[in-house]
Amino acid sequence: MQSKWVKWLICVGVGVVISLVPPPGGVTREAWTLLSIFIATIVGSMVQPLTGSAMVLLGVTATVVFGALKPFDALKGYADPVVWIVLSAFFLSAAVVKTGLGRRVALIFIKLIGKSTFGLGYALVGTDLVLASVVPSNGARNGGIMIPLAVAVSESFDSRPDDGTANRLGSYLVNLLYQCEVVIGATFLTGHAGNFVMAKLAKETAGIEIGYVSWLTAAIVPSLISLAVIPAIVYRMDPPEIRSTPGAAEFAAAELRKMGKMSGSEKVVVGTLLSVIFLWATKDVVHSVDISFVALAGIAALLVTRVLEWKDLMSDPNAWSTFIWYGGLVNMASALGESGLTKLFAERSAGFTEGFTWMAALAVLLLIYFYSHYFFASITAHVLAMYVPFLAVTLAAGAPAGLAVLCLNYFSTLNASLTHYGTTPGPIYFGLGYAKQGVWWRIGLAASFVNIAVWSTAGVAWWRVIGWW
């Protein structure tokens, strides 16, 4: 109970202290109050006297109670198309898990290349890579598909978290899958739901529009390099005692025989997902339908074909909690941008990099942005708190808009490698008990060095080639 009161004291105290500071010149009292509530909400989402979504709901309420926003303006975030894309992401993921399609894809990979520990790792990573191209929820992909399979395979080799056998196989797989998931999450616009928020903020702040194809095109080269290097680093820093896993391929083959041929429901899901991706990729070329309504059309198709039932949608607490979270925070962040606070921040912060070339300024700011993720338990919370101000400052320093947007987009996900709480799948993987925190953090730090080096050299060069700057 005492701990709970301390958490409340921290988040409320932060908001009160900020609100008591006189607003800078040119900033209205309403905008300053909104800032204090927003920061208090972010802090509350980190220390969590209540769950993150509950804290956001309290924050939305506070914006009206304390006069920062009108009721309509406080709630309009829930009508934002990006928020509905995020909600749809969970429902599309539910269909992949419910029909067994995701498990089937993983088992096929394991059967084909899972005869060695290294191959087994790549089979699971390859599964996540394929699923991430169509399933926009890293929590659902990992919690519903990757983690159950990793645990099943580990236990089939007598590797368990609580009897001293974790290092036989399980610890390696857990660290490998998480570190590669971070890279995969940055590879696709559908890598995780927060990517859609970044795309929205980039368009609003810098006028840069990035869609499914352009996001993937820019990411694919540095992503493949990272995915080639990261497994070797994990293998060296957390080597599995078992090096050969022929039983994994046999396990996968046996499980596939049990599953039988692809069901009609699985075929419907495949067709729906491919159609959704095609329509996302061809917006403004073949059609002009907003991508949020493309996603909703996919959900409608799954409901009409009875692949999903309405109760499946209503019984997903994670989906609706995330809806509350995104709708409230995205709206508060947008309102802060409209208030002029972001522009003021950029102007005041420009002196920090005065005298720097734009390249040096961009590098320093990106490193600060990247490693500040140690203080965040959510990619989205980090993005909503810092993305727009840092983008504004980099642009003020003279950095090309396209380059600044891509760097912040990808670094916003890659920085989740640092800790076991950096993004949604982290606590799930860590909670299995296979991985030790010290090993996890050392691997995460090493992975961060690799990812920064790869994406700031090969990535930047590739973006130059394809005309982003």
Tokens standing for residue 48: 């969590």
Q: Are residues 58 and 124 in the same domain?
A: no
- The highest-confidence range among 66-80, 216-230, 371-385, by mean pLDDT, is 216-230
Residues 224 and 290 in one domain: yes
Rounded to an integer, what distance in angstroms lies between the CA atom of residue 329 and that of residue 381? 8
pLDDT at 217 (0 to 100): 97
| Domain identity same for 154 and 213 | yes
Count up the domains in the chain and report the number.
Answer: 2
Which pLDDT score is estimated for 425? 86
Could you give the C-alpha distances from 329 to 81, 175, 177, 194, in angstroms and in order?
Answer: 14, 30, 29, 12
Banded model confidence at residue 20, pLDDT cuts 50, 70, 90: very high
Question: In the Cβ-directed half-sphere of 88, how many Cα atoms lie within 13 Å?
Answer: 25
Q: For residue 343, what are its two tokens?
A: 């522009």
**Domain coverage including residue 34:** 1-69
Q: What is the pLDDT of residues 175-223, one digit of tens each?
A: 999 999 999 999 999 898 889 889 999 998 899 999 999 999 999 999 9
Residues 163 and 238 in one domain: yes
Q: Is residue 248 part of a domain?
A: yes
What pLDDT does 1 receive? Answer: 58
My answer on whether 54 and 162 are in the same domain is: no
Q: Is 398 among the domain residues?
A: no
What is the mean pLDDT of the segment spanning 432-443? 91
Q: Judge if 58 and 99 occupy the same domain.
A: no
Instruction: Say whether both 218 and 291 belong to one domain.
Output: yes
Residues comprising the chain, all counted: 469
pTM: 0.80
For residue range 347-374, list pLDDT tens digits in order.
Answer: 666 667 778 899 999 999 999 899 988 8
pLDDT tens digit sequence for 129-161: 998 988 877 877 887 788 888 888 888 888 988
Look-up of token digits 């926003």: 69
How much is the pLDDT for 349?
Answer: 64
| pLDDT value of position 351 | 67
Q: Which helix (H) or strand (E) holds 263?
A: none
* One domain, residues 229 and 307: yes
**Residues with Cβ < 8 Å from 276, sequence gap 6 or more?**
92, 134, 294, 295, 297, 298
Residue range 444-453: average pLDDT?
97
Final residue of a structural domain among 317, 344, 379: 317
